[in-house]
Structure 1
Amino acid sequence: MSAKMESPDSQHAETTISGFSSPEATKVLIIGAGPTGLALGQGLKQAGISCIIVEKDESINARTRDWNMGMVWGKAALKSLIVDEMWDRLQYAQVDPSQPPPESDSMNFVNGKSGEVMISIPVQRLYRLRRSKLRELLAEGLDVRYGMSFDKIDLSSDTGNVTVRFEDGSSITAKQVVGSNGARSSVRQFLLGPERGAVRRLPYSATFIHSKYTREQALYLRKFHTAYIAAIHPDGYFSFFGMQDAADPDRPETWTFFIYISWYSSLEEQDATAHCSDAQRLAQVKEFSRIFTEPFRSALEWASADCPVWYMCMHYFDPGVEGHRWDNHGGRITLAGDAAHAMTYQRGQGLNHSLTDAARLCEAIKKFTANECTQEEAISSFEEEMIARAGGEARMSVSNTEMLHDWQRVMQSYLAKKGLDPHKGGS
């Protein structure tokens, strides 16, 4: 017999599971083929633990939107999950594959009005990784199933397994289910209900663009830094500018740069402007950029009218908040990455925490698989550490975002006091 596990807020419980095909079986089922789920899959593959990864998109690069992420202290976690040959090819995922990350560098945050350096954070071998290329690399050799949208979960009362049902009627049974399907995780919302499992909106917005430039313009823009530079403006704006794709180092006219500007935007303003067009969003940030120093001003002034534009309202999910602790059902279901702890991005900690989740969850699965402890003990221990570590970061991310958009509090921000090091002092 199978007992259907209903979402806590569900008002229309189904009593049968008719219409579904017989489930396929695996040891671990990972829902979501982002960097977290794929890195975990690589670690499980190395350990000889069977694993299937499902992804709702039709292919790994189905979405046109791409971005890059900083990897600093998460390097050790990723390296522990992948084979040496794959680690040696990590350069493939860099925004500029021709330039290995320098042994020593500085991430500079300048006064967006004057250009004066305000915060300079020393970094060692900071990788700027394109999300799309990192996913392509980590997906190699894994059993990834595309076009599979999560529907619901059935818990078996006698075998201790979990059966996940998908919208197409197919199903997979596993000993362990991991929800790693992003900030708006449907697995999290299923476990907690749509209200408690939803992200919390913040009164801040950002518009991102990707743009190519002429050879002369590209060379000028890149001279400020080969990969990244950020600006904090006295008028309450924050901007980050850098390289997105420099596949051909000898042809600057083919390089793609990215830039975003973020600002305070009330929830009422967000709702009122929800239907603005990309052209309107671009015009808005072009206007914002007129008060910025270089290279931010020119990067937006020179951006083409048809460049890709993405607007987003900031949000977060803190697993440490009362009512946000999900039931892992004896260790059979857990969350990792943004699905467990969505955070804002001005301090660049998301990927580092997500890779750390993957490494520590892999170790937990290996422990109970080897009968070193029970599944519930292993997964609950993983969750306690993860919630304390990354939940704390989610809270700090909100405070950090608030301070970076408030000129009077900028130097009290976690970015200014802790940099990119989660262990450095400062509160």
Structure 2
Amino acid sequence: MAPTGTSNGGAHAPASNAAPSALADQDSQLPILIVGSGSTGLALAQGLRKAGVKCTVFERRVEQARERDWNMGLHWGAPVLKTLMPDEWWTRIQSLQVDPYVPTKEQDTLSFIQGRTGEPMAAFTFGPFYRLRRSKLRGLLSHHLHIEYNKRLTDITYADDGSSVTAHFTDGTSSAGRMLVGADGARSATRNCLLGPKLGAIHRIPYAATFVQMRFTKEQALFLRSFHPLYLASAHPENRFAFFGMHDVADSNDPTTWTFFYYISWHSSLEEQDATADWTDTQRLAQQKEFAKSFCDPWKSAYEWTPDDAPVWYLGLTDWDPGLEGHRWDNHGGLVTMVGDAVHPMTYQRGQGLNHSITDAGKLRDAIVKISEGGDRGPLVAAFEEEMITRAGDEVRTGTANTMLLHDWERVMQSAVFQKGLKKNH
């Protein structure tokens, strides 16, 4: 689902509950520049719109471009997302879920099984838990925003008097704003501009996964979903981790319209990742099918029933720790900062990424509103960054350690998933 903003139009009218003081002077001020139209950038833009603060979103992809879709877990970050949206939009959250026909429970359970035998290993209760499709969330959050497409950030410059920041793009255009926020994902161009290509580069770690999204026959779909209606995880004695769940339920009464999402991840050295960089989808899937032979159902049958020529999505795992020495950027007195995966990309097995990213958006929205009301920009942005780096940097480290443990059978019961479930780090 492509965003609905246009590349040549102005921002739509702010939400009716926007702050009057901010509305009064928004037209006289430069906008906030948000680089990246992922879930985090759009959530921040909606929060600013709701507060009456003018902003422009820049997206490197062309409008209507088809993008890979995946789903994400939202739990402790849900109350923040609610504050960023127009009040009436929260009633639509159910429609964004992988199965909009299954009501969200106040408490839900993630089951964890032994990958070879299927025996239960653990069950974690938490909630409310929303399993959201990224495309649907972005589609909703794109409404009424000023989004400019095909804008790849190449440089950032700053006014000598500290009053403005300018984003420069590969097409030769530029845009000035009163603040720039990088929300452009794990391989952030903003981060590279602020720290350079070496310090800003994504950190590769020796684990990989290949993801499959597939529909099946009615009988196959009913069998696969009988293990859990939404999601199931496993650790395998051969030092592999696996996940199985729903991605889309187009028609609850027609199992042939259900799309399942599943993967097996494994320890993969950087040398192996480089040596297999040009593998085809067929080769990636063949490797997964070989792994799945020693797995229990639903993985065993799902991979057997997956056609050999099915498209897949391969990913070498990465992170970037904003708390590491040398990773602190110059925010130029609060003129530039980052949020979400641009500043704390993390592994996904603990399901924390979206929650931290939405929390970033909420806290930065609060800081920008205070600045709009006359607050001192430098200290407010610095305080935002300190909290974010402490909170999310800790999760980056916990997440990577957790990934390592989940792929080491002898240590798997020490994993943060088993010790903490999906609860927020404190």
Q: TM-score, normalised by structure 1?
A: 0.92
| Counterpart for residue 8 of structure 2 | none
Provide the C-alpha distance between the structure 1 equivalents of 2:148 and 2:94, rounded to a whole number of angstroms: 26
- The Cα of 1:25 is off from its aligned counterpart by 7.5
Aligned alpha-carbon RMSD (Å): 1.3
- Aligned residue type for 1:397: G
**Cα separation, 1, equivalents of 2:176 and 2:236:** 52
**What is residue 15 of structure 1 aligned with on the other side?**
none
- Aligned equivalent of 1:340: 343
Equivalent of residue 126 in structure 1, options 125, 129, 134: 129
The structure whose residues are more often helix, as a share, is 2
Distance 1:102 1:187 in 2: 38
Contact 1:25 1:172 in 2 (8 A): no
Q: How does 1:23-422 map to 2 (within 5 A)?
A: 26-59=30-63, 62-158=65-161, 160-371=163-374, 373-422=375-424
In 1, the alpha carbon distance for the partners of 2:237 and 2:202 equals 29
Contact 1:245 1:256 in 2 (8 A): yes
Q: Matches of 1:378 and 1:158 in 2, distance apart?
A: 19
In structure 1, distance between residues paired with 2:229 and 2:96:
16
User: Deviation per CA, 1:336-390, whole angstroms, max 9, x where unpaired?
Assistant: 000010100010100000000000000010111111x310111100000000000
1:334 match: secondary structure: strand
Q: What is the distance in 1 between the residues matched to 2:37 and 2:198?
A: 25
Q: Distance in 2 between matches of 1:151 and 1:188?
A: 11
1:25 and 1:226 map into 2 onto residues whose CA distance is: 50
Q: Alpha-carbon deviation of 1:144?
A: 1.2
Cα distance, 1:98 vs. partner? 1.6
Counterpart Cα distance in 2 of 1:275 and 1:228 = 31
Cα deviation, residue 319, structure 1:
0.2
Supply the AA of the counterpart residue of 2:81: L
Show structure 1 runs of 5+ residues with no match: 1-23
Following the alignment from structure 1 to structure 2, what is the Cα–Cα distance between the partners of residues 32 and 368? 22
Distance in 1 between the 2:423 and 2:412 partners?
18
Equivalent-residue separation in structure 1 for 2:348 and 2:387 (angstroms): 21
Contact 1:211 1:304 in 2 (8 A): no
8 A contact 1:179–1:187 mirrored in 2? yes
| Contact 2:282-2:310 within 8 A present in 1 as well | no
Partner of 1:14: none
* Structure 1 outlier segments of 4+, above 3 Å: none
In the alignment of these two chains, the number of paired residues is 399
Contact 1:31 1:179 in 2 (8 A): yes
Partner secondary structure for residue 116 of structure 2: coil
Are the counterparts in 2 of residues 26 and 52 from structure 1 also a CA contact under 8 Å? no
> Secondary structure of 1:103's match?
coil
Distance across 2 between alignment mates of 1:145 and 1:25: 19
Partner of 2:19: none
Q: Could you list the per-position Cα deviations for residues 154-192 of structure 1 after superposition, in whole angstroms to 9, with x for gaps in the alignment?
A: 211135100111111221111110000000001101100
Q: Is the 8 A contact 1:200 1:315 kept in 2?
A: yes
SS where residue 37 of structure 1 aligns? Answer: helix
Which AA in structure 1 matches 2:325?
A: E
What is the one-letter code of the residue matched to 1:312?
Answer: L
* Separation in 2, partners of 1:159, 1:147: 28
After TM superposition, give the deviation of residue 27 of structure 1 in Å.
Answer: 2.3
Shift of 1:95: 0.5
> Aligned partners of 2:48, 2:79: CA distance in 1, in Å?
16
2:70 touches 2:134 (CA, 8 Å); kept in 1?
yes
Structure 2 unaligned regions, length at least 5: 1-27
Give the CA deviation at 1:253.
Answer: 0.5
For 2:60, the aligned partner's letter is K
Contact 2:126 2:423 (8 Å CA) reproduced: no
TM-score, length-scaled by structure 2: 0.92
Deviation at 1:125, TM superposition (A): 2.0
Range with greater deviation from structure 2 (132-141 or 25-34):
25-34
Residues in 2 aligned to 1:26 and 1:330: alpha-carbon distance in whole angstroms: 17
Distance 1:97 1:349 in 2: 22
